[in-house]
Amino acid sequence: MLEESKAVLVTGATGFIGEHVCRHLLGAGYRVRALLRQQYSSIIYGHSSFEHCNGDLSDPDSLVRACEDIEVIIHIAGVAHADNTNDESLRRVNVGGTERLLSAALDQKVTRFILMSSSLAGVCDEEGNATTGYGQSKIDAEQLLLSAISSGSIEGVILRPVNVYGPGMRGNIASLISRISRGRMLPLPRLSTLISLIGVDDLCRVIAIAIESARAIGKTYILTDGQQYIVNDIESEIYRALGKRMPRWRTPRVLLYLAVVGAELVSKILGLFGVKLPTLRSVSTRTYRNLTTENLFDNSEACKELNFKPTSTFYSSLPGIVADFKNL
């Protein structure tokens, strides 16, 4: 337990990562306030050190109220990379929302601001611009915090996790598990693509370290579990965890690409008529690129400076992830 319980505001508290962060911080002895856009959250309200306040990143007054008597902010809320949205929405929420929250934090003299960014903020072209609109929105949000840090207005830490796994996870791998479970997934082509991942519990531990570490102030850390995952190995382990037999044949890469393009086109056409099918909206050419493009990152700086020691792997966490899917 902490000698003196710090008050922490968590945005995005009802999301996959946010709920895990709230539970972890409460278990570590922090007082947690969740910024909620809705009255209801699945987070357990019965904990004596947990409270919530209603507000929105677009409402400056509500953010000032949320920051009252808060020492640390964990800013997780925002438009996710997996969401189908345009650059304008990304900037309005990920950049504008961060700007308003940071302004409220400065107004209420919050001590430390921890920004949950993304590894995609580090995937840039030769001119230093992010290769995706989402990544650029995260870079721009980071710059807002870095400017405040350099002026001495607030302590800040930027965390850039790779794709996060754990019970309740979302994104491409979650979609893969769901589709394999329902028998609606073509076997992937033979792919040697390597990717980095991180477990949600390990991410929560890094956040707790970032709250207390003096060395972390002003730093940006890439976060992974230290493993290199081959896409085909992930696929076969999902089949195993689901108790399903892995097909012996492989889909030709060109056929998979055409199937993805077709699904994306059908989704767009149906969208023109107001019809939205989640099974189609989760498939896009971006999904294909993610499967066929290496996405490896180095977590050595976080391990060295924060004494971060990952304790889980995707494979060790997979039984719990699959069990969670089966209970839905």
- Residues 4-45 have pLDDT tens digits of 689 999 999 999 999 999 999 999 999 999 999 875 555 556
Domain count across the chain: 1
Give the mean pLDDT of 257-282: 76
- Does residue 172 fall inside a structural domain? no
188 in any annotated domain: no
Confirm whether 51 is domain-assigned: yes
Residue 51 has pLDDT above 70, yes or no: yes
Q: How many Cβ atoms sit within 10 Å of the Cβ of residue 136?
A: 20
DSSP assignment letter at 295 = B
Structural domain contains residue 109: yes
- pLDDT > 90? residue 240: yes
Identify the pLDDT of residue 282: 62
- What is residue 94's DSSP assignment? I
Rounded to an integer, the average pLDDT of 85-101 is: 89
Q: Which of 288, 294, 290, 295 is nearest to 254 (CA)?
A: 288
Which of 43, 33, 74 minimizes the C-alpha distance to 206? 74
Question: What mean pLDDT value characterizes the chain?
Answer: 90
The pLDDT assigned to 41 comes to 53
pLDDT of 306 > 90? The answer is yes
pLDDT of 124: 81
pLDDT computed for residue 290 by the predictor: 78
The boundaries of the domain holding residue 49 are: 7-161
- Do residues 114 and 211 touch, judged by C-beta distance below 8 A? yes
Residue 215 in any domain: the answer is no
Residue 44 forms part of a structural domain: yes
What are the C-alpha distances in Å from 218 to residues 2, 115, 146, 224, 315?
24, 11, 7, 20, 33
Least confident residue range of 66-70, 72-76, 171-175 = 171-175
115 occurs within a structural domain: yes
Would you tell me the crossing angle of helices 285-292 and 253-272 to the nearest 10 degrees?
150
Q: Note the pLDDT tens digit of each residue in 270-281.
A: 777 777 766 656
Q: Is 252 contained in some domain? A: no
Phi, psi of 39 (to 5 degrees): -70, -30
What CATH number has the domain bearing residue 92?
3.40.50.720
Contacts of 290 (CB under 8 A, 6+ apart): 172
| Residue 1 confidence class, pLDDT cut points 50, 70, 90 | very low
Q: What is the pTM of this model?
A: 0.91
Q: What is the mean pLDDT of residues 217-224?
A: 98
Contact 200, 165 (CB under 8 A): yes
C-alpha to C-alpha distances, 135 to 37, 90, 149, 301, 318, nearest whole angstrom = 25, 10, 21, 21, 28
pLDDT above 60 for 83? no
